Amino acid sequence: MAEAPKYDVVVIGSGPGGYVAAIRSGQLGMKTAIVEKDEKFGGTCLHVGCIPTKSLLLNAEVYDYFKNAKEFGIICKEFSLDWQAILARKSKVVTKLSKGVEFLLKKNHVETVRGFAKLAGPGKISVTDSKGATQEITAKNIVLATGSEARLLPGLEPDGKALLTNKEILSLPEIPKSLVIIGAGAVGVEFASIFHRFGSKVTVLEMLPRAVPLEDEEISAELEKSFRHQGIAIVTQAKIGKVLKTAKGISVEYTVGDGKPQTLEADTCLVAVGRAPNTANLSLEKTRVKLERGFVKVNGYMQTDEPGVYAIGDIVAASPLLAHVASMEGIVAVTHAAGKPGEPINYRQIPNCTYGEPEIGSVGLTERQAREAGHKVKIGKFPFAAVSKAAILGAREGFVKVVSDERYGEILGVHIIGPRATETIAEAVMAMRLEGTVDDIAHTTHAHPTLAEALGEAAHAAVDWAIHI
């Protein structure tokens, strides 16, 4: 007689997808365990991604205020950076949140298993701990939440000094005098903002025709203009050639179009060219799980083709590699596993946020995507230069852009670049979730003075009654 499953749900990986799935599973009354290979819970986002990066961004913002204090009527005669104190604060924030995750797992009766997990047959998981000891656990349902790792260019390996990924750059012994960043996606743009404000000479190289290539084209153009105004060099359509370590740091060769190869010398190089799914060592080849370029294919309830096996987060094919997406996918998966009514995610209503300077927040279709989908598009735009709160903050770059369908006023997408864009985008997400129209936003009274007024004004522009421009 086969052994009865020990758990209702076992989650492999404790990142923002995994730990949320485990907590929700416990709340739904299922006997749950979570397997984690690292010492602490929280995954990439908490330890070497979202949280430490945003901590450094806040330090950079505060330092920027000191440098420009005279504008606010404050005379700062002496101030300087204490890099070790900055790193210590970052670590303190991370440690506190990691302990919080561990507390929530215990609170919701989630058992924890340490070690590296792989599938060992239907409903079976083999876990090998740090000492090489292996145990087998069984479950009715398994949730794969193993996340992703930074991609590197062929032949390159990070050394923690001259050649870095998002992990190593968070622990540099000192602020580099010069930094080359390969890749102008969210990671590259955020670290460019951090280290430029800390005093590094920063150059960003992007292979594609524009920075933040997943965003609306006007957002990309505004970011590039802002970076150049700030003094951050950005080169698009840059094909990377040789990347070599030198006695002084790093040498990066690149070519733009049909031009001659150019070489940049710098102390440090950050490679930020995307993420690769952690699926190679899960023994998926012995299952019915289907892969697409290493990513797992799932249905709307996050089920794979292997009965009882779900996948969430960065390993999922065609899913945005975002922490908040992983968390919601985890909830969808375990709700389905519990046999409860669930709702698949509408990926067109997922906010995308980049926390550099200026910030970017977006949701839904870009203008180009909307037109290519056959919509008769109506655009509403409003600049932060005309927003009172932005003037008070001394941050007047950027704009809000609303992409709507002309016939019914359906909100197809909202794109924001400027102060606190990553907060303001939440209103647009909610409006789309509730099937609101541009008229609904235009008739919503926005508090004055706030940055959110810019979204209301952009909606006014989309219905042809812009007030303040």
The answer to whether residues 243 and 156 touch, using CB atoms and an 8 Å cutoff, is yes
Task: State residue 2's pLDDT score.
Answer: 52
pLDDT, tens digit, for every residue of 286-340?
A: 999 999 999 999 999 999 999 999 999 999 999 999 999 999 999 999 999 999 9
Which candidate in 324, 375, 448, 468 is catalytic? 448
- Residue 1's pLDDT band (boundaries 50, 70, 90)? very low
Record the tokens describing residue 380, joined without a space. 């509403």
First to last CA, the chain: 76
Print burial letters for 164-190: b (CB count within 10 Å at least 16), e (below 16). bbbbbbbebeebbebbbbbbbbbbbbb
pLDDT average, residue stretch 344-355: 98
Query: What sign for the dihedral angle of Cα 37, 50, 428, 227?
Result: negative
Among the four given CATH numbers 3.20.20.140, 3.50.50.60, 3.40.190.10, 3.30.950.10, the one describing domain 7-149+276-347: 3.50.50.60
Domain map of the chain by residue range? 7-149+276-347, 163-273, 358-462
Rounded CA separation 135/444 (Å): 58
* pLDDT value of residue 362: 98
Q: Which residues partner with 201 through β-bridges?
A: 178
Please calculate the CA angle 395-450-415 and round it to the nearest 5 degrees.
70
pLDDT band at 11 (very low <50, low <70, confident <90, very high): very high
Domain made up of 358-462: CATH architecture: 2-Layer Sandwich (3.30)
Average pLDDT, the chain: 96
Q: Please confirm, yes or no, whether 415 is among the known catalytic residues.
A: no
Mean pLDDT, residues 369-392 taken together: 97
Task: Give me the amino acid identity at 299.
Answer: N
**Domains 163-273 and 358-462 belong to one CATH topology:** no
Other C-beta atoms within 10 Å of 345: how many?
A: 18
pLDDT tens, residue by residue, 406-442: 999 999 999 999 999 999 999 999 999 999 999 999 9
- Mean per-residue pLDDT, 24-53: 96
Q: Looking at this protein, which amino acid is placed at residue 67?
A: K
- Asked if the model's pLDDT at residue 233 lies above 70, the reply is yes
Phi, psi of 369 (to 5 degrees): -60, -40
Burial of 73 (0-12, 13-18, 19+ CB in 10 A): exposed
Architecture of domain 163-273: 3-Layer(bba) Sandwich (3.50)
Listed in sequence order, the residues at least 6 apart from 430 whose beta carbon sits closer than 8 Å to its beta carbon are 436
